[in-house]
Amino acid sequence: MNNKCILCDVNNCQYHSNENYCTLSVVQIGTHESDPKQCECVDCESFVKAI
């Protein structure tokens, strides 16, 4: 099922739908920086590489 509240264009994620939505009901967002200041510092921690 597509979650119309979570847009996603990461095609190689297991939870990506063909309509550019995430199929999860909840996603975990995190960072690999102690004080993120750019979009590149923020990560979708729910990402799973599609097989």
Q: How many domains does the chain fold into?
A: 1
Residue 49 lies in a domain: no
Residue 50 lies in a domain: no
Burial 9-39 (b: 16+ CB within 10 A, else e): eeeebebbeeeebbebeeeeeeeeeeeeeee
Residue 15 lies in a domain: yes
pLDDT at 44: 97
pLDDT at 22: 97
pLDDT tens track for 7-45: 999 999 999 999 999 999 999 999 999 999 999 999 999
pLDDT at 1: 86
Residue 36 lies in a domain: yes
Contact at 8 Å (CB) between 43 and 30? yes
Range of the domain at 39: 3-44
pLDDT at 9: 94
Unique residue bearing structure tokens 């999860």? 24
pLDDT at 10: 96
Residue 51 lies in a domain: no
